[in-house]
Amino acid sequence: MSFEEGADLSASHRCREWLAAVLGNTHVRWGWFVEETLVKVEQFPAHQPLSWPQQTELWLAPVGSAPLPPESPWVHRLELSQVPLRDPYPGLGLDRALALWAAGIHYGWPCLVIDAGTALTLTGADSEGSLVGGAILPGLGLQAQALADHTALLPKVQWDPQDPLPPRWANDTVAAIRSGILHTLLAGLREFIADWRRRFPQGPLLLTGGDGKWLHPHLGPLDPELRWDPHLVLRGIAGCRQLHRTARHSPSAE
């Protein structure tokens, strides 16, 4: 994979551009920034080797099994301790922490983030930006894959985010699998959102991740503050980079 291909930024941007990469289990998501503005996003399979323009600053969030690039003065690897989220527990996923912190600083606290990726996670923070907690379950594609892998006769159902919600009471096997996964998932998320609102009546709810765009119209009518932002983790990386640069150039750091 080469992020260099197709990156046609003007020469005036060259001294201000940098890259962020979220190294997941199935994909690497790249974000090209000019200063703090995200100008381009691309996604490639995780097994492909990383390549990017030489002497371009790269900030990494390793959150899955994708291989890391060789060490370099241009490469910065983020860790959970560098995310200024209050009261994270040891082992909290870096992507969950980055997305939640980005949601809070861009949209306000308290907030809840639903990240619908390979795994579907819910992560919330209170009005002080302290972690409340969350939940993890298999994402839509992973649920369909599990049925195919661990049963003798059930087919593998391809998940297409463009497909409409199937009827609840299906009359063929493929539709029945889709109905079971999708309607059950939506029912569970509605219950989580309702419980969150009992605890925190005000504040934004954010959907992100590959399947978040599909979930948004099905969950949006539940809450007027539910928003779709596909790039929360990249925004979190940008925020951490800015904090690092501010600290490095502060008088106390000299």
Interval 164-211: pLDDT, tens: 889 999 999 999 999 999 999 999 999 999 999 999 999 999 999 989
More confident residue, 106 or 14: 106
pLDDT the model gives residue 71: 86
How far is 208 from 60, CA to CA, in rounded Å? 19
Residue 248's pLDDT is 66
Question: What stretch of H or E contains 120?
Answer: strand 119-125
Using pLDDT thresholds of 50, 70 and 90, give the confidence band for residue 22.
very high
What number is the average pLDDT over the span 225-250? 89
Tell me, what's the pLDDT at 154?
95
Q: Domain map of the chain by residue range? A: 11-77, 83-235
Whether residue 110 has a cis bond before it, omega within 30° of 0:
yes
Averaged pLDDT for residues 13-33: 86
Q: Is the pLDDT of residue 5 over 50?
A: no
Q: Give pLDDT, residue 250.
A: 52
**Residue 187: predicted pLDDT:** 97
Q: Which residues are catalytic?
A: 95
- The pTM of the full predicted model, rounded to 2 decimals, is 0.89
Position 12 pLDDT exceeds 60: no
The answer to whether domain 83-235 has CATH 3.30.420.40 is yes
CA distance 221 to 19: 36
Q: Confidence band (pLDDT; 50, 70, 90) for 14?
A: low
Kindly state the percentage of the chain with pLDDT values over 70.
91
Closest C-alpha among 73, 34, 30 to residue 51: 30
- 213-223 pLDDT, tens digit each: 999 999 999 89
DSSP conformation class of 251: G
pLDDT (average), residues 138-154: 94
> Residue 7: is its pLDDT beyond 50?
no
DSSP one-letter string for 6-73: T----GGGTTTEEEEEEE-SSEEEEEEEETTEEEEEEEEETTSPP---TT--EEEEE-SSPPPPPP-T
Burial of 60 (0-12, 13-18, 19+ CB in 10 A): buried
